[in-house]
Amino acid sequence: MQLQLSTWPEIEAYLAKSKAILIPIGSTEQHGPNGLLGTDALCPEIIARRAGDESGILVAPTFNVGQAQHHMSFPGTITLRPSTMIASMVDWAQSLVRHGFERLYWFNGHGGNIATINAAFSEIYHGVTFDKSRAERSNHAPLRCCLRNWWELPGVGDLTHQLFPVGEGSHATPSEVSITQFGYPEAVKSVAMTPRIAPNGPILDADDYRRRFPDGRIGSDPSQANIAAGEKIVAAAVKAVISEFRQFSAS
Ligand code: NI
C-alpha cells in the first residue's frame, strides 16, 4: 500500500488498524559508470513497494535526497546540508504524528545518511518531549523511530556475499546496481570498467574524492551486476523487512 496512491479515507481506515508507516530514505548521487544516480533511493523504494504490495504495509513517499557532499564533483548529484535534512525529517515526522502515526520505520539506502538520520531522531524525540499539548493526550503511546539499512536486514548480507564474493566494495556495489537493474530493466547500462575492481581509500572532500576514485566507484566491480541477482536480493529483503516491520509495529 503506497501513501501516494491512496486517498485520505483509505489512510484514515489504515490508521484505525495500524499506527506504523515505512519511509524509504536515500540519496541522489553518482554511482559509478553503470549505476543510476537514484540508486540509494531506488533500492529501499523497490524493496519497500514490493513489501507493501505483499503485506499491506503502508509505504510513504521516498525521502530521496540526502547527504552526498563528497559526491558533488560528479554531475547530477544533489545534496542537502545536514541541518536541512534534519529539519525536513522533523517536518515529515510531525506531519505523520499529527495524523496519529506512532511508529516510523525509516528504511535507508545510503550509509552517508546514518549519522544525520540519528541526529534527526534526537530532534524528533526532543519535539515530542517538549510538546505539552501532545503530552496531555495521554492515550497516545510514545513515538518511536527506527532506522534500518536494507543491506543489514537479516539474511541479506550473507546473500550478497554469496552472490558477489569478490568486488562488492563499498560504493557503487554490484548488489545495489543489481537491485536497480531488477527494478528498472529498461535502464540497465553496459559499460567497460578499468580497473576491474576500483581502488579503496578514505572519503574526504568532493574534489579529493574524484581524484582518488575517478569513475566514482570505491572497491567495487559493479560490472558483475545482473537482474537475476537483483531479484534474489529483493526477495530476501522483502521477506525480512515485512517480518521486522511487523515486530516494530507491535512494539
Ligand atoms: Ni549506494
The per-residue DSSP string of 183-218 comes to: H-GGG------SSSS--------HHHHHHHSTTS-B
What pLDDT tens digit does each residue of the chain (251 aa) get?
Answer: 999 999 999 999 999 999 999 999 999 999 999 999 999 999 999 999 999 999 999 999 999 999 999 999 999 999 999 999 999 999 999 999 999 999 999 999 999 999 999 999 999 998 877 665 655 554 555 899 999 999 999 999 999 999 999 999 999 999 999 999 999 999 999 999 999 999 999 999 999 999 999 999 999 999 999 999 999 999 999 999 999 999 999 99
Q: What is the pLDDT of residue 155?
A: 96
Classify residue 186: in a domain, yes or no: no
Classify residue 180: in a domain, yes or no: no
Classify residue 205: in a domain, yes or no: no
CA distances from 49 to 62, 111, 157 (A): 10, 21, 20
Tell me if 250 sits within 8 A of 27, measured CB to CB: no
Alpha-carbon span 174 to 171, nearest angstrom: 9
CB count in 10 Å sphere of residue 188: 17
Classify residue 49: in a domain, yes or no: yes
Classify residue 226: in a domain, yes or no: no
251 CA → ligand 1 middle, Å: 30
177 CA → ligand 1 middle, Å: 8
Question: What is the SS3 assignment for 162?
Answer: helix
71 CA → ligand 1 middle, Å: 11
Tell me if 29 sits within 8 A of 71, measured CB to CB: yes
173 CA → ligand 1 middle, Å: 7
Tell me if 32 sits within 8 A of 222, measured CB to CB: yes
216 CA → ligand 1 middle, Å: 11
pTM value > 0.85: yes
202 CA → ligand 1 middle, Å: 16
Classify residue 103: in a domain, yes or no: yes
176 CA → ligand 1 middle, Å: 6
9 CA → ligand 1 middle, Å: 36
- Closest alpha carbon to 177 in 191, 62, 11: 191
103 CA → ligand 1 middle, Å: 26
107 CA → ligand 1 middle, Å: 14
Q: What is the pLDDT of residue 128?
A: 76
39 CA → ligand 1 middle, Å: 6
127 CA → ligand 1 middle, Å: 31
CA distances from 27 to 62, 168, 180 (A): 10, 19, 14
Classify residue 47: in a domain, yes or no: yes
Residue 152: give its domain's CATH number: 3.40.50.10310
Classify residue 179: in a domain, yes or no: no
Q: What is the pLDDT of residue 138?
A: 47
Domain that holds residue 126: 3-162+231-246
29 CA → ligand 1 middle, Å: 8
Number of domains in the chain: 1
Tell me if 112 sits within 8 A of 27, measured CB to CB: yes
24 CA → ligand 1 middle, Å: 14
